[in-house]
């Protein structure tokens, strides 16, 4: 199917503007920049395939984020993930400001969460989505989002503070 240059230009402009943000979301989901790039490539290809729809919706970023998260969850179920360079191939350093050790610990802890739990935490606490918006993105119940959030945070706390019985909520 021939695509016009206007179509391509508009797509390229959007991806150029938003790929850094999408790559960060992908990194938080995958825990690895190389895997994040693979995921981003898959998601951006899907965006191109459906670009006429993406530009027709009010919330293009929400659409792109949903495509990215669904691609991540689908590929965690498939053999694709086994072909991706695993965590540890490139030891990224966190941003210079803040608690370096804490952030590295958080990264390791996040990677150990089940994919849907990780996706829920990233959507709720990085993308700042409500419970309802997260449920819509993941096509699950709000109750499921709440339970996954609670379990995910609890698990992170236990991994980050293995000896703490009581932590702040």
- The residue from 25, 30, 68, 120 that contacts other proteins (CB under 8 A) is 25
Q: Which of residues 4-23 bind other proteins (CB under 8 A)?
A: 4, 6-8, 10-12, 15-16, 19-20, 23
Residue closer to other proteins, measured from CB, 15 or 61: 15
Please name the residue ranges forming H helices in the chain.
5-30, 33-49, 51-54, 60-77, 80-83, 100-111, 115-125, 131-138, 142-160
CA 16, distance to chain mean position in Å, is 18
Residue closer to other proteins, measured from CB, 23 or 134: 23
Q: Which of residues 41-100 bind other proteins (CB under 8 A)?
A: 41-42, 44-50, 52-54, 56, 63, 66-67, 70, 73-74, 76-78, 80, 90, 92-95, 97-99
Question: Is residue 85 within 8 Å of 49, Cβ to Cβ?
Answer: no
Indicate whether 150 belongs to the interface with other proteins (CB under 8 A).
no
Question: Is residue 23 within 8 Å of 38, Cβ to Cβ?
Answer: no
């Amino acid at each position: 199917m021939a695509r016009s240059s206007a179509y391509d230009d508009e797509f390229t402009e959007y991806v150029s503007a938003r790929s850094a943000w999408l790559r960060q979301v992908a990194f938080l989901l995958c825990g690895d920049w190389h895997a994040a790039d693979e995921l981003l490539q898959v998601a951006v290809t899907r965006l191109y395939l459906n670009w006429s729809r993406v530009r027709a919706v009010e919330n293009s970023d929400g659409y792109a984020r949903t495509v990215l998260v669904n691609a991540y969850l689908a590929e965690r179920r498939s053999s694709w993930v086994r072909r991706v360079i695993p965590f540890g191939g490139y030891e990224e350093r966190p941003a210079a400001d803040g608690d370096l050790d804490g952030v590295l610990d958080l990264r390791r802890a996040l990677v150990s969460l089940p994919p849907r739990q990780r996706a829920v935490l990233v959507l709720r606490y990085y993308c700042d989505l409500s419970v309802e918006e997260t449920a819509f993105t993941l096509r699950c119940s709000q109750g499921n989002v709440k339970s996954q959030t609670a379990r995910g945070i609890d698990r992170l706390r236990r991994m980050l503070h293995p000896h703490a019985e009581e932590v702040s909520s």
